[in-house]
């Protein structure tokens, strides 16, 4: 079935494998799809009996991009990703064009310093927001903290951040505003430690030469990781006086799950 027959069917254009557990891919974008950078959609493959096997995925590309990008885990026995990891350019993929989510600028009150806090594939919505001009127009500083167990798991994020300077749309906008703080927790690297720990100890402020701690007058945050990570970060942000926002009621920080379950 082609796209003209089924508007939910898109075509894979490129696939990049980053580690044996992580890959990214780009697909054609339905002409009618409008979304806000940071939102997620349902994507998938035909399942048994022709019923679609769908999962939530953050759109990793910005709202202005002609294609859609996704950044994915490979769960060894995962119903979808055990198959999705074998995608090739030209393959069809199902995409339900109903974007939703709370990691959007509309859900945050205006601030001065935006913290993007991610573990693992929780980087995906920030891959979109980092390439979104509004992110840089709204904030004087943007701190991208990304933590993984091992160094290679940071590669997709690192490549994306390093590419921002050469991006014709936002290269000039980010000058002097971007602070990137990748850390590992189970393998030596230049910066180590959990996001919660480096924020609490003040290490991230010292390393980046930024004033701390967080305050509701200055700071806004977007959080995307496992349930435990999200809960711990939300508790920490509340302890600094920040309040959670939503699409209906903008606040100082917003949270989205990077996946449902205990992790692998
Ligand atoms: P599932 O049966 O869905 O998952 C099996 C188990 O694998 C889960 O119980 C969990 O323990 C673990 N797991 C699943 N996803 C992850 C993950 N991303 N990182 C670590 N452990 C995981 N996944 C992405 O890879 N990229 C995304 O951008 C993304 N965005 C999401 C946005 C939202 C709002 C939600 C709720 C989930 C998102 N997910 C994302 C997770 C995704 O929906 C699927 O769970 C994932 O693709 C695995 O699908 P599966 O059918 O292979 O296994
Ligand atoms: P750690 O190695 O100390 O558990 P996972 O692969 O389990 O989803 O974890 C991804 C990254 O997030 C790891 O570096 C992990 O650190 C970190 N992490 C997991 N849970 C939390 C939490 N509750 N608070 C802060 N960081 C967390």
Reported confidence tier of residue 261, pLDDT bands at 50, 70, 90 = confident
- Residue 123, both tokens: 């980087």
**Are both 243 and 162 inside the same structural domain?**
yes
Q: Does 62 map to a domain? A: yes
Q: Does 261 map to a domain? A: no
Shortest-distance Cα residue to atom 41 of ligand 1: 259
Q: Does 60 map to a domain? A: yes
56 lines ligand 1 (CB under 6 A): yes
Tell me how far apart the alpha carbons of residues 227 and 123 are, in angstroms, rounded to a whole number: 15
Identify the CATH number of the domain in which residue 63 sits. Answer: 2.40.30.10
Place of tokens 């990748």: 182
**Domain containing residue 239:** 105-255
- Please give the helix or strand (H or E) that residue 236 lies within, else none: helix 227-239
183-231 pLDDT, tens digit per residue, is 999 999 999 999 999 999 999 999 999 999 999 999 999 999 999 999 9
Shortest-distance Cα residue to atom 7 of ligand 2: 263
**Are both 112 and 95 inside the same structural domain?**
no
Best residue among 74, 75, 181, 185 to mutate for probing ligand 2's pocket (most ligand atoms within 8 Å of CB) is 185
Report the separation in Å between the CA atom of 70 and the middle of ligand 1, taken as the mean of its atom positions.
Answer: 12
* Residues 6 or more apart in contact with residue 165 via CB below 8 angstroms: 171, 174
Q: How many domains does the chain have?
A: 2
141-189 pLDDT, tens digit per residue, is 999 999 999 999 999 999 999 999 999 999 999 999 999 999 999 999 9
Q: Does 3 map to a domain? A: no
Alpha helices by DSSP H, 61-214: 81-84, 124-129, 133-138, 155-164, 195-201, 203-208
Q: Which ligand is nearest to the CA of 72?
A: 1
Torsion angle, alpha carbons of 8, 11, 17, 22, to 10: 0
Pocket of ligand 2 (CB under 6 A): 119-120, 147-149, 185-186, 194-196, 226, 228-229, 232, 263
Tell me how far apart the alpha carbons of residues 104 and 246 are, in angstroms, rounded to a whole number: 9
Of the residues 41, 74, 100, the one at which a domain ends: 100
pLDDT, position 172: 93
Shortest-distance Cα residue to atom 36 of ligand 1: 259
Shortest-distance Cα residue to atom 22 of ligand 1: 263
**Are both 109 and 89 inside the same structural domain?**
no
**Are both 94 and 144 inside the same structural domain?**
no
**Are both 178 and 243 inside the same structural domain?**
yes
- pLDDT of 3 above 60: no
Q: What number does the ligand 1 atom closest to the CA of 56 have? A: 43
Q: Which ligand is nearest to the CA of 184?
A: 2
15-64 pLDDT, tens digit per residue, is 999 999 999 999 999 999 999 999 999 999 998 888 999 999 999 999 99
């Amino acid at each position: 079935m082609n796209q003209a027959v089924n508007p939910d069917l898109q075509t894979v254009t490129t696939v990049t494998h980053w580690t044996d557990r992580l890959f990214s891919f780009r697909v054609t974008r339905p002409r009618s799809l409008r979304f806000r950078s940071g939102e997620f959609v349902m994507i998938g493959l035909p399942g048994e009996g022709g019923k679609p096997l769908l999962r939530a995925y953050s759109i990793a590309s910005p709202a202005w991009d002609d294609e859609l990008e996704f950044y994915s885990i490979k769960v060894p026995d995962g119903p979808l990703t055990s198959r999705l990891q074998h995608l090739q350019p030209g393959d069809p993929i199902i995409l339900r064009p109903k974007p939703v989510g709370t990691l959007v600028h509309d859900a945050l009150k205006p601030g001065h310093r935006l913290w993007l806090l991610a573990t693992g594939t929780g980087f995906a919505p920030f891959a979109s927001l980092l390439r979104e001009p509004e992110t840089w127009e709204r904030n004087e500083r943007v701190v991208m903290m990304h933590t993984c167990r091992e160094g290679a798991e940071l590669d997709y994020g690192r490549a994306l951040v390093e590419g921002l300077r050469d991006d014709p749309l936002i290269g000039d906008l980010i000058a002097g505003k971007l602070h990137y703080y990748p850390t590992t927790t189970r393998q030596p690297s230049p910066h180590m430690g959990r996001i919660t720990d480096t924020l609490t100890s003040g290490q991230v402020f010292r390393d980046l030469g930024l004033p701390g701690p967080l305050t509701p007058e200055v700071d806004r945050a977007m959080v995307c990781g496992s349930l435990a990570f999200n809960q711990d970060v939300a508790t920490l942000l509340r302890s600094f006086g920040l309040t959670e926002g939503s699409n209906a009621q903008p606040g100082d920080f917003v949270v989205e799950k990077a996946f449902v379950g205990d992790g692998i």
